[in-house]
Structure 1
Amino acid sequence: MNRAVVVGVDGSPASLVAAEHAARAAALRHRPLHLVHGYLHPLGYGVPINPYDVGLPEPSEEADAMLDRVATDLRGRWPELTVETRQVAGGPGATLVEESRRAELVVVGSRGLGGFAGLLLGSVSSQVAGHAHCPVLVVRPADREVTVAGPVLVGVDGSELGELAVGQAVEEAARRDVPLVLAHVVAPDTQPVTRDAAAGGEPADRLVAETAATVRQRHPELAVTERVVRAAEPASALVEASADAALVVVGSRGRGGFTGLLLGSVSQALVQHARCPVLVARPHGHTG
């Protein structure tokens, strides 16, 4: 199955930047790119004005023209890329979650109000990041140009979901031909220890060293850096570390339904405040 990279496009500046990131991701993966516009009825819920008219609203010519412009621009910049466009009658978030069932990757834009008290993600981005059935790339900051500089950063915590994040971070670093940074945050009063796991170092140091050793064994061509960060707040420390990265990879967890908390606190902080795009690692076919 030739799964596509899917990106939601509504013509806004943030969605156009997301489409650019999606085109590059599709080219790196040798996958087709699907530009999808989910549209609602003018009342906002897909309900016809006439209660006896149960038909779905029609796609708009304006949106078709917008999608064609974006597709033409991306084909010109990535000539080898297969680009398809379509409109779907439905809310943008629900549309992209449904599209994710058959996608290799879903890409969404973000918007920010600034500060840790603000709502940094729009409802569409939050919905897709929390409920997609495949990995999700959240493009933030929304106005940042696509960059190829910088490593792929991933936090290491030894959990099953953390291992999934590390695995997808390894794939991204290899695909992009950039270094991989394995980071683990420990309390500031943790005593410095040797980094040699065989010499009996602290568990945090051993965890990073063992993870790095496994990655190097499987991917000897990949440059891997181990980083143990001493900080009181893991989320803030990783957000700060993301300033030098081209991508940060985070894990997710599912509790079922749209009411569950599907991202852990550290992952939430990175999705909302990272200084670079964020890949939410999810298995394909995840049912949330």
Structure 2
Amino acid sequence: MSRRDHPTIVVGVDGSWQAERALEWAAEDARRRGADLRIVTAVRAPVSPATSAAFTAGNVLDAAREAAQVAVDAAVERASELAPASRVSGEVRAGSAAAVLQQESHYADLLVTGSRGHGSLAGLVLGSVSVAVATSARCPVVVVRPDRRPEHAGDDLTPFSWATAGRVVVGIDGSEGAARALAFAADHAARARLGLTIVSAQPAPAPRSRWLDPSESGTLTTLALDCEAVTRPAAALARMAHPRLDVDVQVVQDGAGGCLVSASHQAALVVLGNRGRPSLTGRLLGSVSRTVLCAAASPVVVVH
């Protein structure tokens, strides 16, 4: 449900080419959703009193604000071309990049940021900022990679990654966060006319000896049934919400982070919840989410 009368997507820009990719992604999603698009950048004065005084005296901060406004105006013009039916607005805000985006997330339906920026005073899509915002925002956050280059992925590409080519990939573990991630992923896949792949991690128990442990088969069966109990209802819910949606399920043996990163080289989007169950399968959305954020080749959504 929208937090305003109309769905609103917020995207952070700073004039860098990485931010341009984030802007393009946000504008395309706004076009599909029929959403408003709000473009923001941040300008913060230096924290050192001496440097701050120099900035004020030399009107450097004013110049930085003017430069930021130029970047925002250009972004508004570009976004209006990409999403002509959307209401597009822009604003230069005072404050740190992370604080500005976190504040914006309270009123947005979706927040979009680049994976990194150029680190200038007006920078809003720094690597550390994107991770911080993805962790603490109050709405889903999309971190957009500037260049996927799957042909350079090398050993990262696996049969699993090719099986998810051009699809929306969502990691689930049966938690409430995973349920929200599934709903977001299914909605996005349906709007973008893409297939949906649901991924669940099945951790393999560590071998106790070189010989087969009689209890091992029972453990594996329990783990498989646990994954099936998660993935089967998830697939049914996605198909119920979107009857024409192409849905498939992939159960991976441990290494969920690596599998999702591998899938990202061919996937259109990877979706994760911000946290999962405090269990073995919960690893898919715990430390794994940070791994995917830092290493994925495709855009990644963290759903809160």
In the superposition, the TM-score normalised over structure 2's length comes to 0.74
Hey, what does 1:150 align to over in structure 2? 166
Hey, what does 2:258 align to over in structure 1? 236
- Structure 2: how far apart are the matches of 1:72 and 1:166? 33
Q: Does 1:16 align with 2:20?
A: yes
Hey, what does 1:96 align to over in structure 2? 101
Hey, what does 1:276 align to over in structure 2? 298
Aligned-residue offset at 1:48 = 4.7
* 1:38-57 paired onto structure 2 within 5 Å: 38-43=42-47, 48-49=52-53
Q: Does 1:34 align with 2:56?
A: no
Aligned residue for 2:109, secondary structure, equals strand
Hey, what does 2:143 align to over in structure 1? 138
Q: Does 1:5 align with 2:9?
A: yes
- Structure 2: how far apart are the matches of 1:130 and 1:271? 10
Aligned residue for 1:86, secondary structure, equals strand
Hey, what does 2:72 align to over in structure 1? 67
Hey, what does 2:267 align to over in structure 1? 245
Structure whose residues are more often helix by fraction: 2
- Structure 1: how far apart are the matches of 2:12 and 2:229? 41
Pairwise CA RMSD: 3.0
| Higher alpha-carbon deviation: 57-66 or 270-279 | 57-66
Aligned-residue offset at 1:42 = 4.2
Aligned-residue sequence identity (percent) comes to 38
Aligned-residue offset at 1:21 = 0.8
Q: How many aligned residue pairs are there? A: 250
Hey, what does 1:109 align to over in structure 2? 114
Over residues 64-110 of structure 1, what are the superposed CA-to-partner deviations in whole Å (9 max), with x where a residue is unaligned?
A: 12221222122223322221111001111100110111111110101
Contact 2:43 2:68 in 1 (8 A): no
Contact 1:17 1:144 in 2 (8 A): no
Q: Once superposed, which parts of structure 1, at least 4 consecutive aligned residues long, lie more than 6 Å away?
A: none
| Higher alpha-carbon deviation: 214-223 or 273-282 | 214-223
Contact 1:152 1:179 in 2 (8 A): yes
In the superposition, the TM-score normalised over structure 1's length comes to 0.78
Q: Does 1:169 align with 2:198?
A: no
Hey, what does 2:156 align to over in structure 1? none
